[in-house]
A and B are shown apart, each in its own frame.
Chain A
């Protein structure tokens, strides 16, 4: 089955740029979605179709997908961005939905 690998944690200072990776075999051939989850809450979509932002998500959130790695980039990190982030794809060969293991973003 298809596997997505994320770093368990990423730390960044306020105002800097945080990058969260999501590795998968030939992930560039897949559509990647990203979710933010704060403690005690359901996940919230922050990027869809690799790079698109839902309404209400700041322009500071952007994405890329190339080769074997998709990346969520958060520019000018704020304390309110501290959360767990998950990447997700649909594996068309199996019809399975797949989540990455999640990355905890800590704002220093």
Chain B
């Protein structure tokens, strides 16, 4: 059974960089599409970006200038970096898997709350 687990600091200061890791267990990180999705308190789901099995990335235009998603196949994990954060970046951050670009998100992590505050 595939399991995804997000990890990283729960508190980040404004203007600093948010860094999260999603560790994948029970399956290989290769041959899939890996996504970061976030949900601000009381709000809906917002797609942040995707990295595929070739290492190609695509980002939400609203975040593109501040986001980097990468994969470390040796550790079977993916990472998210969001630069120059503000309070508006406070959210639960999820990682999720797709089998194809047009496919559904079949496995999700439990999510991790990141609060941006001084």
Contacts and interface: CB of A to CB of B under 8 A. Distances in A.
B35 interface: yes
A101 interface: yes
A84 to B, nearest CB: 8
Interface residues of B, number: 22
A48 B104 contact: yes
Interface stretch (B22-30, B39-47, B69-77): B39-47
Interface in B42-64: 44-47, 50, 58, 60-61
User: Which of A48, A96, A97, A98 is packed against the most chain B CB atoms within 10 Å?
Assistant: A97
Given A33-B104, A90-B101, A42 B45 contact: no
Given A86-B45, A97-B35, A101-B44, A45 B104 contact: yes
Contacts, number: 55
B44 A31 contact: no
Q: B interface, by DSSP: helix, strand, loop or mixed?
A: strand
A95 B44 contact: no
Interface residues of A, number: 23
B90 to A, nearest CB: 17
B72 to A, nearest CB: 22
A93 interface: no
Contacts of A31: 102
A96 B58 contact: yes
Interface of A: 1, 31, 33, 35, 37, 42-43, 45, 48-49, 84, 86, 88, 90, 92, 95-102
